[in-house]
Chain A
Amino acid sequence: AVRKPPITTREYWAPGHAACAGCGCATALRLATKAFSEAMEEKYGDPNAFAIAQATGCMEVVSAVFPYTAWKVPWVHVAFENAAAAASGIEAAWKKKGIKGKILAIGGDGGTADIGLQALSGMLERGHNVVYLMYDNEAYMNTGIQRSSSTPYGAWTTTSPPGKYSIGEDRPKKWVALIAAAHMIPYVATASIGNPFDFVKKVKKAAKVDGPAFVQVHCTCPTGWRTPLEKGIEIARLAIETGMWPLFEIENGDIWHIKIQPPGGGAKVYKEGGRVVRIEFKKPIEEYLKYQGRFKHLFKRPEAIDELRNQIKAMWKVLGVEAILPKPEE
């Protein structure tokens, strides 16, 4: 018997794009467009019923170098901070032209958490029928690895170098998904290329709701993270398993009924009344940090790793979860 592939074999992100070897974000976009297409087929009966508005960033410059394009779907790039606004305009135009379908806006963490935050907020608040996909590789990689507000504590970047007076990045990571949820939009999720099935499911869910949705996907950047090319998926999975990257869904801003996906990696998940209240992670965050050149200096500063652990616990607390994060010796 021929086994049905787990996702459509249609491709919207063609080979030949100029992303770095081992780019996790390229994988994210390929999967996201496939998932989107499946959702459009189910929702509108047309797998091609979507267009993309994309912010300036790595995935934009590698995919549309005139006279070539990697996109087999209507695609437009306007500027760095306005993918959400451009998507709003396309959605409005399609409404008037009677074109059935949905708009996918794509931005990196810089284009979303920082310079594009206002346009994102406007689009979500106005209720456009747009899915915003934030591919989060945790720094301005396109310009050469500068910190963004989505860069995790302690990470080396070219603008947060560790030194005599610096630990590296000195601020906790900003979680844009929670800001998106505060708009009380139908659907918000975090996802990771470390769990492609979960990611595909969430993109499809986001694409099928009526109104705005936001998905923040963690994707590895070997160039900026100083990680082995072949370990991208493994490292992304370790982020989930160690508690560094939570997988959750929030519908209509109802954070009380947040759905948290089990992290795996031997973690014990405790629920009360259907709600995840406690996770005992088995793998220490050091398991995630150790593969990455951007965290290398932290191993000489164990107090910084403890501070990161505290920040991760605080993040989980906001999600309503008591996170038990082990130290390596435990």
Chain B
Amino acid sequence: MPIRTVMKANEAAAWAAKLAKPKVIAAFPITPSTLVPEKISEFVANGELDAEFIKVESEHSAISALVGASAAGVRTFTATASQGLALMHEVLFIAAGMRLPIVMAIGNRALSAPINIWNDWQDTISQRDTGWIQFYAENNQEALDLILLAYKVAEDERVLLPAMVGFDAFILTHTVEPVEIPDQEVVDEFLGEYEPKHAYLDPKRPITQGTLAFPAHYMEARYLVWEAMENARKVIDEAFAEFEKKFGRKYQKIEEYRTDDAEIIFVTMGSLAGTLKDWVDKKREEGYKVGAAKMTVYRPFPVEEIRELAKKTKVLAFIEKDISMGLYGAVFTDASAALINESEKPLMLDFIAGLGGRDVTFNQLDEALSIAKEALEKGKVEKPIHWIGLRKELL
């Protein structure tokens, strides 16, 4: 029987790792993710998880050790955030290029400077081009489930790419919520053993991994990563379906909420989706035709799902905790690209909010709504990007 209990997202991530039975874990402490390796080292110390835990001297070595371990053919896990993830950046490309299905939990945290330990998504969003699959959790249950799903998708032979699961710093990492811990036997059945055919350093079959590729071969290697990410779309849907069957919880790349007759739909990711749904309920009571949508998968970008969503509304607005300096938020930019060739598309708006742990309040969402309403009434967008919740007196 699954165990119903309460825990923080960091603990949920550690439990997910325990259930997935990785053979090698390498981690380095960083706020807000430190509890994940702490909890895992307890599992290992108590013999509840049979794994090698490498207490590395940096995040760079954490991911490098996992590349070594994964190249030797075992399931691996780590957790980090923010600066730690940025330090891994170089090796993230290598893990994807070498087709190593490493899974990593991220307590989504802002990047320096100024140094800030609180939540936004700039850390993972900045890794969007590395070839890692990206999931974002709305709550602690999702953090656990999506890590299991990450293994399922990453290790699929049609994919073989690493995956990261983000959950918001403090809002989730340090907040206790009800979580159901699935049965080990069901998880074993769902994931199976990781037995790679392409990557294992074994004296019985010497192979060379991580070669130099000249222009004659490099581009094909890159294409195959791109193709694997395309394949992941279907594999993710299959994994979601199988997960629902086995565990009874339904996941979708984009989950809609009260969108059916909506004129304005707000799209977001992570824990903000919870706030947004509450707010939509309130606005609906007040007579506004608004809906919400949550993106669970950011890479591969849910192109088809965004197109379907766009067909339902007159204004498609994004609320995101990241910014590409010199342009817009990344989610808005990617969604715009997904819609570029659609003959009919909604007005599109981007709201940058909640950076560095600033609370995203109903007042801020009201502010976004009034901008969206104005665009709807005028039938055009004068300015696509708006920073909401800014303290103008400080600027």
Complex contact B64–A75 (CB within 8 A):
no
Complex contact A92–B54 (CB within 8 A):
yes
Q: Mark out the residues of chain B between 205 and 229 whose CB falls within 8 Å of any chain A CB in the assembled complex.
A: 205-214, 217
Q: Mark out the residues of chain A between 83 and 137 whose CB falls within 8 Å of any chain B CB in the assembled complex.
A: 84-90, 92-97, 99, 101, 118-119, 121-122, 125-126
- How far is B218's CA from A67's CA once the two chains are assembled, in angstroms? 11
Complex contact A85–B68 (CB within 8 A):
yes
B69-77, B126-134, B364-372 - interface stretch: B69-77
Residue of B nearest to A95 (CB): B52
Chain A contacts for B54, CB-based, 8 A: 88-89, 92, 126
Contact with A along B102-133 (1 / 0, CB 8 A): 00000000000000000000000000000000
Q: Tell me which of A66, A77, A85, A92 contacts B61 (CB under 8 A).
A: A85
Q: Tell me which of B23, B65, B74, B204 contacts A85 (CB under 8 A).
A: B65
Chain B contacts for A94, CB-based, 8 A: 72, 201
Chain A contacts for B212, CB-based, 8 A: 60-61, 64-66
Complex contact B68–A89 (CB within 8 A):
yes
Complex contact B23–A78 (CB within 8 A):
no
- How far is B72's CA from A101's CA once the two chains are assembled, in angstroms? 13
- How far is B94's CA from A88's CA once the two chains are assembled, in angstroms? 17
Chain A contacts for B24, CB-based, 8 A: 89, 92-93, 96
A277 contacts the other chain (CB 8 A): no
Q: How many inter-chain residue pairs (CB < 8 Å) link A and B?
A: 156
Question: Chain A: how many interface residues by the 8 Å CB criterion?
Answer: 45
B57 contacts the other chain (CB 8 A): yes
A74-B206, A74-B207, A96-B74 known; A87+B68 contact, CB < 8 A: yes
- How far is B98's CA from A77's CA once the two chains are assembled, in angstroms? 10
Complex contact A85–B211 (CB within 8 A):
no
Complex contact A71–B208 (CB within 8 A):
yes
- How far is B70's CA from A88's CA once the two chains are assembled, in angstroms? 12
Chain A contacts for B203, CB-based, 8 A: 46, 48-51, 73-74, 99, 101
Chain B contacts for A74, CB-based, 8 A: 201-203, 205-207
Complex contact A119–B61 (CB within 8 A):
yes
Complex contact B206–A89 (CB within 8 A):
no
Residue of B nearest to A12 (CB): B206
A90-B72, A121-B57 known; A82+B91 contact, CB < 8 A: yes
Complex contact B94–A79 (CB within 8 A):
yes
Complex contact B74–A75 (CB within 8 A):
no
- How far is B23's CA from A95's CA once the two chains are assembled, in angstroms? 9
Q: Tell me which of A65, A69, A90, A95 contacts B68 (CB under 8 A).
A: A90
Complex contact B61–A88 (CB within 8 A):
yes
- How far is B65's CA from A64's CA once the two chains are assembled, in angstroms? 21
Chain A contacts for B76, CB-based, 8 A: 89
Shortest CB-to-CB span from B68 to chain A, Å, is: 3
**Most A CB atoms within 10 A — which of B26, B61, B207?**
B61
A66-B217, A126-B55 known; A93+B72 contact, CB < 8 A: yes
A93-B74, A94-B72, A97-B23 known; A78+B202 contact, CB < 8 A: no
- How far is B206's CA from A73's CA once the two chains are assembled, in angstroms? 5
B293 contacts the other chain (CB 8 A): no
B83 contacts the other chain (CB 8 A): no
Chain B contacts for A93, CB-based, 8 A: 23-24, 52, 68-70, 72-74, 201
A249 contacts the other chain (CB 8 A): no
Complex contact B214–A65 (CB within 8 A):
yes
B276 contacts the other chain (CB 8 A): no
Complex contact A97–B74 (CB within 8 A):
yes
- How far is B201's CA from A72's CA once the two chains are assembled, in angstroms? 12
A48-B206, A78-B68 known; A69+B61 contact, CB < 8 A: no
A53 contacts the other chain (CB 8 A): yes
Contact with A along B226-265 (1 / 0, CB 8 A): 0000000000000000000000000000000000000000
Complex contact B213–A89 (CB within 8 A):
no
Chain A contacts for B68, CB-based, 8 A: 53, 76, 78, 85-90, 93
**Most B CB atoms within 10 A — which of A61, A73, A82, A125?**
A82
A81 contacts the other chain (CB 8 A): yes
Complex contact A90–B64 (CB within 8 A):
no
Shortest CB-to-CB span from B26 to chain A, Å, is: 6
Chain B contacts for A87, CB-based, 8 A: 68
- How far is B71's CA from A51's CA once the two chains are assembled, in angstroms? 11
Complex contact A82–B60 (CB within 8 A):
yes
Contact with A along B313-346 (1 / 0, CB 8 A): 0000000000000000000000000000000000
Chain A contacts for B204, CB-based, 8 A: 48
A89-B68, A93-B73 known; A51+B26 contact, CB < 8 A: no
B191 contacts the other chain (CB 8 A): no
Contact with B along A42-63 (1 / 0, CB 8 A): 0000101111010000001100
Chain A contacts for B91, CB-based, 8 A: 78-79, 82
**Most A CB atoms within 10 A — which of B23, B54, B64, B94?**
B64
B90 contacts the other chain (CB 8 A): yes
Chain A contacts for B217, CB-based, 8 A: 66-67
Q: Tell me which of B61, B202, B208, B211 contacts A122 (CB under 8 A).
A: B61
Q: Tell me which of B57, B70, B208 contacts A75 (CB under 8 A).
A: B208
Q: Tell me which of B23, B66, B71 contacts A76 (CB under 8 A).
A: B71
Complex contact A89–B65 (CB within 8 A):
yes
- How far is B57's CA from A121's CA once the two chains are assembled, in angstroms? 8
- How far is B92's CA from A308's CA once the two chains are assembled, in angstroms? 43
Complex contact A90–B60 (CB within 8 A):
no
B271 contacts the other chain (CB 8 A): no
**Most B CB atoms within 10 A — which of A84, A96, A121?**
A96
A51-B203, A93-B73, A96-B24 known; A77+B211 contact, CB < 8 A: yes
3 interchain residue pairs of minimum CB distance: A89-B68, A122-B57, A89-B65
7 contacts between A and B (CB under 8 A): A51-B201, A65-B211, A69-B211, A76-B201, A79-B94, A88-B65, A89-B65
- Residues of B at the A interface (CB closer than 8 Å) are 23-24, 26, 50-52, 54-58, 60-62, 64-74, 76, 90-91, 94, 201-214, 217
User: Can you name 13 extra interface pairs (CB under 8 A) apart from A74-B201, A89-B76?
Assistant: A66-B211, A75-B201, A76-B71, A77-B210, A78-B94, A82-B61, A85-B65, A87-B68, A90-B71, A90-B201, A118-B57, A119-B58, A126-B54
